[in-house]
A and B are shown apart, each in its own frame.
Chain A
Amino acid sequence: MITIVQETFNPWDALQTYQQQMELRVLRTLGATNVFVGSMRDFNQEVQVERMVLEYYPGMTEKQLGMITAQANEQWSLIDSLIIHRVGEVFPTDVLVLVAVWSAHRADAFEACRFLMEALKSQAPFWKKECVAGQQARWVAENTVGYKHY
């Protein structure tokens, strides 16, 4: 499932709720769950960031996330996946993204989760604008490459 949310969300509650909705016959096949949670730091490039605004492209963002999820399902043997991404105004400690992957064996869950997160960061149309104390707000120019082996 792919969800874009405007409000603060608790990733652990979201995971629990999502997994509780799985059918018992599915739950019985799960051998591995891999979870990534990304949250907002209070600094970037040695500057104190007070808040950020996350913009996205309604329609394209969901479509791109759907495409990378389909790619992950082609490449690895997955039972389910969940992506939740925050948009709008966010503050330090707020969770920005949750990626969870369920599979029978750990290798698929580990690798697909990493792939989904890196593909999200390079393909899904989201943009961060940082609000810094005493300065004009600035757009983050580009995401760093986090992983090179997929």
Chain B
Amino acid sequence: MNQQCGIVVKYFASLKEKLGRSEDYFTLTRSMTVSDVWAQLNPELTPPEQLKVAVNLDYVSWDWVVNPGDEVAFFPPVTGG
């Protein structure tokens, strides 16, 4: 499989601890939404209701379609400031 078909998936904060990892690398073999990506990588865990998702550093909805080379991130509500 061509390396350019890959995406990187990042996890942060409490989610990272819960999953026990901060990143996944994943090869797209078909058109997928971020919701599909989550289900593929974490089939045992229903995404917590408040979970946020970003693609290429912007917030997106769960039906956003992922493209090869994208950086996807899942994280809990933000608590800075």
Contacting residues, chain A, for B3 (C-beta < 8 A) = none
Question: Which of these, A38, A120, A122, A129, contacts B13 with CB under 8 Å?
Answer: A129
Q: How many residues of A contact B (CB 8 A)?
A: 28
- In the complex, which residues of chain B have a beta carbon less than 8 angstroms from the beta carbon of A139? 13-14, 17, 76, 79
Question: CB distance B76 to A97 under 8 Å?
Answer: no
CA distance A124 to B78 in the complex (A): 7
Docked CA distance A125–B76 (Å):
9
1/0 per residue, CB under 8 A from B, across A18-52: the answer is 00000000000000000000100000000000000
How far does the alpha carbon of A140 sit from the alpha carbon of B81 in the complex, in Å? 12
Q: Does A126 make an interface contact (CB < 8 A)?
A: yes
In this complex, what residue of B is CB-closest to A59?
B57
| Residues of chain B within 8 A of A60, CB atoms compared | 54, 57-58, 73
Most A Cβ at <10 Å: residue of B17, B58, B79: B79
Write out, one digit per residue, whether chain A residues 85-129 have a CB within 8 A of any chain B CB (1) or not (0): 100000000001100000000000000000001001111111111
Least CB distance from A47 to B in Å reads 15
Decide if A141 touches B77 in the complex (CB within 8 Å).
Answer: yes
A143→B81 contact, CB < 8 A: yes
Binding site for B on A (CB under 8 A): 38, 54-57, 59-60, 63-64, 85, 96-97, 117, 120-129, 139-143
